[in-house]
Amino acid sequence: MTLAGFWKRFAAAIVDVLATGTFAGIYAALGSLFYDFGTGRSGTFFAGDAIYATVMIGFLICYLCIDWLYYAIMESSSLQATLGKLALGIIVVDLKGNRITFARASGRHFAKMISRMTAYIGYVMAAFTERKQTLHDMMAGCLIVNKEDREEN
């Protein structure tokens, strides 16, 4: 198993942010249709504010669920990778090189919050750790490896 390096993982993350961010952008644009930006009513409450707030809260909940399911389902599937990882030829495995479960993929996803709370140092750790693991990889017991190397074995 050849471990995937920091820059390969970084490029895959950009593709994934674009994939999940597209949904976020569309939903936010639709939500803005419920808000009357041209009324000049700043400082006063009107029905548009309540509708807009409700739509945006709904958006946040939907986005968080879709983001979680996107990562957890894709990484625990037979593909073992998100769209970004597939594009870069890398996959997620457990420490023994096996496919991860949905529960482990979910734990890995939610552990990313801790990697973010460290001013993203949890992500940068992949450039410096022996097994090229991020903080959330360590917490979930996962590795990111090059797919072609796994297929040869």
Check residues 55 and 34 and name the one with the higher pLDDT: 55
Check residues 124 and 34 and name the one with the higher pLDDT: 124
Q: What is the pLDDT of residues 52-68, one digit of tens each?
A: 777 778 888 888 898 99
Question: What per-residue confidence (pLDDT) applies to 38?
Answer: 46
Question: Measured between alpha carbons, how far is 153 from 149 in angstroms, rounded to an integer?
Answer: 7
Question: Measured between alpha carbons, how far is 82 from 147 in angstroms, rounded to an integer?
Answer: 13
* Length of the chain (residues): 153
Contacts 24+ apart (CB under 8 A), 92-97: 92/142, 92/143, 92/144, 93/1, 93/142, 93/143, 93/144, 93/145, 93/150, 94/141, 94/142, 94/143, 95/141, 95/142, 95/143, 97/1, 97/143, 97/145, 97/150
pLDDT (mean) for 87-107: 97
- pLDDT band for 23, please (50, 70, 90 cuts): confident
Q: Encoding tokens for residue 55?
A: 């739509």
